[in-house]
Structure 1
Amino acid sequence: MRTVIIVILFAIISLQSAAADDDIKTLLAEIVATHIPSPENEARLFKLFDHSDLGVRNSAKQRLAALYWKTGRYDDAEEILKELSQAYESFPPQYKVESLLTWSTLEFRRNNYVAAEEYTRKALVVAQSSHQELLGNTYYLLGNALQYQRKRLEAKQSYELALTAFEKNGNKKGTLLVLNSLGLMFKNSGDLVLGTKYLLQAREAVEEVGSVSYRGAIYYNLGDIFLKSEEPNKAIEYFNKALKIDLELKDFASLASDYRSIASAYISLENYTKALENNDAAIQQLLKVDAPEELSQAYLQHSKIYSLLSNENYRLDYLLLAEQTARKSGSAYQIMSVKVERGKYELERGNDNNALKKLTDALQVAADLSLDQNLMDIHRLLANAYQSLGNYQQALFHLNQSVILDDQLNTEDRREKSERYKRDVNLLEEQLKVSELQKIEAQQAQILELQQTEKQRLYVLLIAGAFVFAALTFLLVQRRKLENLRANLLQQSLKQKQELFADVSHELRTPLSALKLQIQALQFDIVSDVQDSYDKLDRKVNEINSLISDIYQLAQADTNNLNLTYREEDVDSLFGIWRNDWQTVVEKNGFTWMYQVNLTSVRKKMDAERIKQVIDNLLSNSIAYTDKPGTILLTARQHQEQLIVSIEDSAPTVDNDKLQKIFSRLYRVESSRNRQTGGSGLGLAICESLINAHGGTINAEKSALGGLKIVFRF
């Protein structure tokens, strides 16, 4: 969860016992410093549980509960707070408010927004009557609980009261939190103009506060702004900044939101591989914590990505998971979102009645929550469903409703606000640049001031300047070289891609032509054996499928996306397990099998399945291209630290000038070894990519048996 709550224990602790002595103040400062989960910090806090000062004891327990819920250990956090609450009735007003606010924060982290609201309202009663110093914190947490229940008007009122209280007390950190939450609320409700306004103010305030965790929240929201302004690359830049901070803070819930938002940006860029990778990372983080609403959102996004990839099986699987977790969350908004996607799914499959039920339920929720954009989309889908069912009157009604909402959402005033919003986003980017430049200028001014007071430091600075200039010059030269290298690599890559496209087109043309002829023969009923024709069609389809599969695997290797699982293996035992399979295949195809392996006590770190795939491919090549009766020999040994494996066969062989070319993609040898065996022409290229991924080498040479010998080592 990219929560707008950044734990407000700084306020709770800063107000502890104004009359405490220096030792107590030192202990409270140490408690504040333990904001990152670790065994060491937990141990430090445990030691303070029996301290004589009530403020120290309470602060230590509250901080430990925060460390627990940051890492998803909600049950442990709850146990700590239950222990704290046992003495609640004897607490002075300040500690009562603090205890209730800590409970509220825990419930918020568990997505129990109703429970969070209840605890905060109880704290509000105490704070208003007996301890107004914590009113700002209380109104702020109440605003968060209300916002996540989509009670935005009440949330806005609470935030405004919190802002007034924080500004009255000069609490800059509290003011920052409220500005950030207001920006987030307006942004999520579609008012990007107000959202940008408040986030700009929060961006300015975070520089004064200087907190890493606050900066992470602001970076995340800025990324969201750029995503909504259709600038996904900038959005990814800011989401990654937030991700780096949340990794440092070990905040699982926030990490999940970072990954899910990065996935959304990659969806906009149509990079679905990266989108799946980051969204899966979000799911893994959410499975560590009890956050069903956000887990449902992540499952729903996974379903949408698979929909874009036209993978309907996975799309439905994750849609069902999203439904299950949405019901568990009890969030009306999330249940509505899932029902809309399920309605789309059923509509695409012609299940109009099922779609109608889902969309009608979603329409009611969207109306209750006053979500105009969602209402417009649902009305359009309902119009399609009713039209498919032949109920044109209802279809027309919903279509008219969607048009009315569309007109309302696209008024001249809204378009003007949208343009102003665009300008604000650009202004935001400029302000960020100016802010960085101002920091640099401030540092330079400080150096100049020191130069005026200490003349000797001038020489040091001159030397430093010369060094920096030399370094910049070197960096510029290296950068130019790097740019030239990139340009050359890009040109080579484009050339290789064009050649590959040409080769693939050529390889596909032959089986497709055969398919077309066979289909025409069936169409005009000029074949004598229909079943034989179907068998031929099946073989040709398998050839095309095999070629596509090989191309996909090579594409993964080119983009460094090969999934390898490295384990330390006993190589002799592995070969012993595989040996019978290899012998059976070779002898079944009419060849003599020879096996010479000397690998006693040899252990290697490798992906065993991939190495077996390499050997299987090489044996298949030998079987395909060796004259019968012939011989196929497998040898394996260790030389120093290298594992050396070779597969060789009897005649025919390959000319010396073509030995290394056989690893090129789709290369055909112009000799008797070039037979129509049904292969894709990519087998050796795949072997080379897998061996290279293991940090090894592979090469071809003539065999003493009269044929070809392939040797790989790593």
Structure 2
Amino acid sequence: MLFGHQVSLLLILLLSIPLTYASDEQVQTSLSQLSLSLEQNPKQTLVKVDELNQLFIHPQPSSRFWFELKIIEAKAKTKLGLFMEAKQHLYELESYLPVMSKFEEAPAQIKLLQAQLAIKQSDISAGLLLLEQARNLVPKEHLTLRSDILHLLARALRYQANYSEAERVIKDAISLVAPIEDKARLATYYNQLGVIYDYMGSLQLALRFHEKSLNIQRQQQNQQGISNSLYNIGEIYRDLEKYPQALQHFKQALEVDKALGDPIHIANSHGKLSQVHLQLGKISEALEHSQEGIKLARASGANSDLAWQLSILANIYVAQSALAQALSVAQEALELAIEAKAKRTEHTVRIVIIEIRLAQAQYRQALSEIEAVMALPAIGNSYRATLLKYQAQALQQLEEYKLAMQSLEAFIDAKTQLYHDLDKQQALTMQQNVEFIRQEQALKLIQNEQALAKATLENLKLQRGMGASLLLCFMAVAIYIYKRQKQKQQFVELESDMMAESLAQKNRLLADVSHELRTPLAALKLTVEAMQHNIEPDPVKGFLKIQKKISHLDNLIKDIYQSAQFDNDAMVLDQQPVDVSILLNEIVEEFQPMYATKQQTLSFSEKVHDCICNLDAARIRQVIFNLLRNSHFYTSSNGKTQISMNVDEKGLTVLVEDSFPGVANEDLEKIFERLYRCEGSRSRDHGGSGLGLAICQQIIQAHKGDISASHSEMGGVAITLYIPHQSLLKSDS
């Protein structure tokens, strides 16, 4: 209300006097407020621009106020999805360039807006061409305009899945605006960098930059920026399978988007809400949001966004077993994705079509679709592994066993390569973390230098004319030089140590996992070779053996990935009040049938009832599952496993112990190490990854607790979980 009142007063003032007599200060104030309004409320901005346009009976391209007003009008129309009007508006503005020579940034600014319009309409190629022209036209001294061009260029490269180049470009944009402390642009660029890191799989860095962006946007009260940050943080929570948190962020983003009026942003928020509802099994809610997103995307004429929205609808139809509808929608999505050159969406839609073909038992058609996708350029190992798996399934159903085995061999190779890619990604994440720390330290060093220089200057002013000033200045410079050199040396040592530690961790992980992968891969290859040479008389049993080994391999890679995420602090706990007694009773009931297969007994003893703890129930359930699974596998038939729970003034203690056999003393100290295998009776291959206890330790440590192993009085192993008192909320009962 205050902003609208100020603009109205300015409008009355400007309309009440001739334009030639309006002061530069008045004009600049009006333009600044319109620019701020453009980010907060583009609808209102367009209304105010129309009112200010009444000042001009005829176009005045020589007027700075007229030119800036037209630029704001083009931006507002683009934000509101009025693409045809914005396009015509920019063409008209471009026609006045010959008489706007004194506005040296005008040609580059118009090209930038034309590029933004093209990218909004999914014409990435045209957008890149216009951005290249803008970069050649922009004057070097116009830092903010240069950074805006780089920001849009990074977005276009991201759409083309060229993430490494997009990262480089957006960092160049940040380097231009950071020294001049342009907070509005810094927040926008941090958000863009966070999205790029999200797509690269570096979730920790992505979340860090999104939170930095959100903090600045809230300080600036930029509603559109707040919406963008909420949307992207929600996407990270969705990747982490934290669906309630993702749902909350997407809902908040949608409310802000509706208030601002950008149809593409509103459609995207509807699409994300549809995806989360689908993953939560809420089909009707997912369908409602999907249909709303499709309607908005169609009206905007953005084929890339429409293809993505239709791919979500196809997945909903698959969940409803409406395969014919799913196929029709997916084929329309594929045509739009190809037309828009949206590679990421195209690959996703093609996978959906193949899944539909398999569900319809159209195996020949599925194989044809698979071959078409495999022939596409730049198919990553993840997509390739999925395609080979589907190809083997189709060939198996057609009883073409020899070809199916070849597909399985290729699938094994792709899965192995996926592990190596994962290892490289983790190493890259470590390197990026080190680089981020280095940049923060460098920034702090610059700030310290500036602060010291400012303090020295003030001291010189106060002590001017006094003989002591020279001595004080000399001492300050000497101390500064000494501290600066010492700080640089400390930083170099820190960077060296961190890089060495990162490299050592990477090498250890690579060596351990390579050794661990060798056994299932060797067994898998032997089985495949046996089937190739007809040694295996029953192909069906042979395929069952292969599928079992593939499942083992999948579990191992999944555990490796999860453990690496914990190492990089990507785990986010969802701590809620939980009755631990009820949780443990539920788990014991679930495991009773498994224990009965070996005539083993499983019991639960609780010394305290109604213990309410502030925990991540899913993570604690994972810990207890791993411990009970190990106990079931390693304890002899007719053995016993007992769980007990106690709470005292220090915290919660859960004890899981079993009967014979036990482990040696030296093994008790090492069983929580990754990929460590005990010798003797507890080293049999039960299909585990060797990471279960290491993951348990990481989860308990994330709760600020501790886990330890000892000899059990029952003859086996006793695992003790301890979570300190500050994590507990005792029940009033």
TM interval, short-chain normalised: 0.5 to 0.7
Structure number with bigger Rg? 1
Number of aligned positions between the proteins: 462
CA contact under 8 A between 1:48 and 1:60: conserved in structure 2?
no
Moved more, 307-316 or 140-149: 307-316
1:182 deviation in Å? Answer: 1.4
CA distance, structure 2, for counterparts of residue 343 and residue 191 of structure 1: 27
- 1:197 matched to 2:168? The reply is yes
- 1:232 matched to 2:184? The reply is no
CA contact under 8 A between 1:293 and 1:326: conserved in structure 2?
yes
CA contact under 8 A between 2:150 and 2:172: conserved in structure 1?
yes
- Pair 1:48–1:458, CA change in 2 (3 A): farther
1:616 match = none
CA distance, structure 2, for counterparts of residue 129 and residue 325 of structure 1: 39
Q: Which of 326, 337, 351 lines up with 2:308 in the alignment? A: 337
- 1:102 matched to 2:184? The reply is no
Pairs within 5 Å for 1:507-546: none
1:428 deviation in Å? Answer: 5.5
| 1:323-359 CA-partner distances (Å, limit 9, x unpaired) | 3333343322222111111112212332111011101
| 1:535-584 CA-partner distances (Å, limit 9, x unpaired) | xxxxxxxxxxxxxxxx9x978x879xxxxxxxxxxxxxxxxxxxxxxxxx
1:298 deviation in Å? Answer: 0.9
CA contact under 8 A between 1:200 and 1:428: conserved in structure 2?
no
- Pair 1:509–1:152, CA change in 2 (3 A): closer
Q: Which of 416, 439, 455 lines up with 2:447 in the alignment? A: 439
Q: Which of 93, 97, 120 lines up with 2:61 in the alignment? A: 93
CA distance, structure 2, for counterparts of residue 183 and residue 151 of structure 1: 15
| 1:518-549 CA-partner distances (Å, limit 9, x unpaired) | xxxxxxxxxxxxxxxxxxxxxxxxxxxxxxxx
- Pair 1:108–1:436, CA change in 2 (3 A): farther
1:42 match = 7
Pairs within 5 Å for 1:608-623: none
Pairs within 5 Å for 1:7-46: 38=3, 41-42=6-7, 45-46=10-11
1:44 deviation in Å? Answer: 5.8
- Pair 1:80–1:445, CA change in 2 (3 A): closer
| 1:588-618 CA-partner distances (Å, limit 9, x unpaired) | xxxxxxxxxxxxxxxxxxxxxxxxxxxxxxx
- 1:140 matched to 2:119? The reply is no
1:283 match = 254
Secondary structure of 2:261 counterpart? coil
CA contact under 8 A between 1:327 and 1:335: conserved in structure 2?
yes
CA distance, structure 1, for counterparts of residue 460 and residue 56 of structure 2: 60
Amino acid at match of 1:77: T
Q: Which of 94, 97, 103 lines up with 1:124 in the alignment? A: 94
TM superposition score normalised by structure 1: 0.56
2:329 match = 358
CA distance, structure 1, for counterparts of residue 294 and residue 201 of structure 2: 29
Amino acid at match of 2:85: A
1:78 deviation in Å? Answer: 2.9
Pairs within 5 Å for 1:638-649: none
- 1:70 matched to 2:47? The reply is no
CA contact under 8 A between 2:160 and 2:343: conserved in structure 1?
no
Amino acid at match of 1:434: A
Q: Which of 573, 577, 584 lines up with 1:502 in the alignment? A: 584
- Pair 1:336–1:226, CA change in 2 (3 A): same
CA distance, structure 1, for counterparts of residue 269 and residue 18 of structure 2: 46
2:159 match = 188
CA distance, structure 2, for counterparts of residue 495 and residue 109 of structure 1: 43
| 1:86-141 CA-partner distances (Å, limit 9, x unpaired) | 45453431345333322201112213334323222221121245435222222222
1:244 deviation in Å? Answer: 2.2
1:497 deviation in Å? Answer: 6.9
Q: Once the two structures are aligned, what percentage of the paired residues are identical?
A: 13
Q: Which of 335, 343, 352 lines up with 1:381 in the alignment? A: 352
CA distance, structure 2, for counterparts of residue 381 and residue 699 of structure 1: 52
CA contact under 8 A between 2:122 and 2:303: conserved in structure 1?
no
CA contact under 8 A between 1:62 and 1:81: conserved in structure 2?
no
- 1:217 matched to 2:183? The reply is no
CA distance, structure 2, for counterparts of residue 495 and residue 135 of structure 1: 60
TM superposition score normalised by structure 2: 0.55
| Structure 1 segments unaligned to the other structure (5+ residues) | 1-35, 466-492, 514-550, 560-663, 665-696, 701-714
CA distance, structure 2, for counterparts of residue 60 and residue 91 of structure 1: 21
1:565 match = none
2:318 match = 347
| 1:633-659 CA-partner distances (Å, limit 9, x unpaired) | xxxxxxxxxxxxxxxxxxxxxxxxxxx
1:293 deviation in Å? Answer: 1.6
Secondary structure of 1:209 counterpart? coil
- Pair 1:698–1:399, CA change in 2 (3 A): closer
Amino acid at match of 1:159: L
| 1:358-390 CA-partner distances (Å, limit 9, x unpaired) | 011011111111223322222222222233334
CA distance, structure 2, for counterparts of residue 254 and residue 287 of structure 1: 14
Moved more, 383-392 or 341-350: 383-392
CA contact under 8 A between 2:580 and 2:612: conserved in structure 1?
no
- Pair 1:316–1:160, CA change in 2 (3 A): same
- Pair 1:452–1:138, CA change in 2 (3 A): same
Amino acid at match of 1:292: P
Secondary structure of 1:405 counterpart? coil
- 1:264 matched to 2:229? The reply is no
Amino acid at match of 1:145: L
- RMSD of aligned alpha carbons: 4.5
Amino acid at match of 1:144: Q
1:223 deviation in Å? Answer: 1.6
1:623 match = none
CA contact under 8 A between 2:303 and 2:339: conserved in structure 1?
no
1:112 match = 82
CA distance, structure 2, for counterparts of residue 118 and residue 199 of structure 1: 30
Amino acid at match of 2:114: L
CA contact under 8 A between 1:97 and 1:127: conserved in structure 2?
no
Pairs within 5 Å for 1:451-530: 454=463, 499-505=581-587
- Pair 1:383–1:73, CA change in 2 (3 A): closer
CA contact under 8 A between 2:74 and 2:86: conserved in structure 1?
yes
2:513 match = none
CA distance, structure 2, for counterparts of residue 209 and residue 42 of structure 1: 28
1:499 deviation in Å? Answer: 4.5
CA distance, structure 1, for counterparts of residue 585 and residue 323 of structure 2: 45
Pairs within 5 Å for 1:295-314: 295-314=266-285
- Pair 1:135–1:428, CA change in 2 (3 A): farther
Amino acid at match of 2:61: P
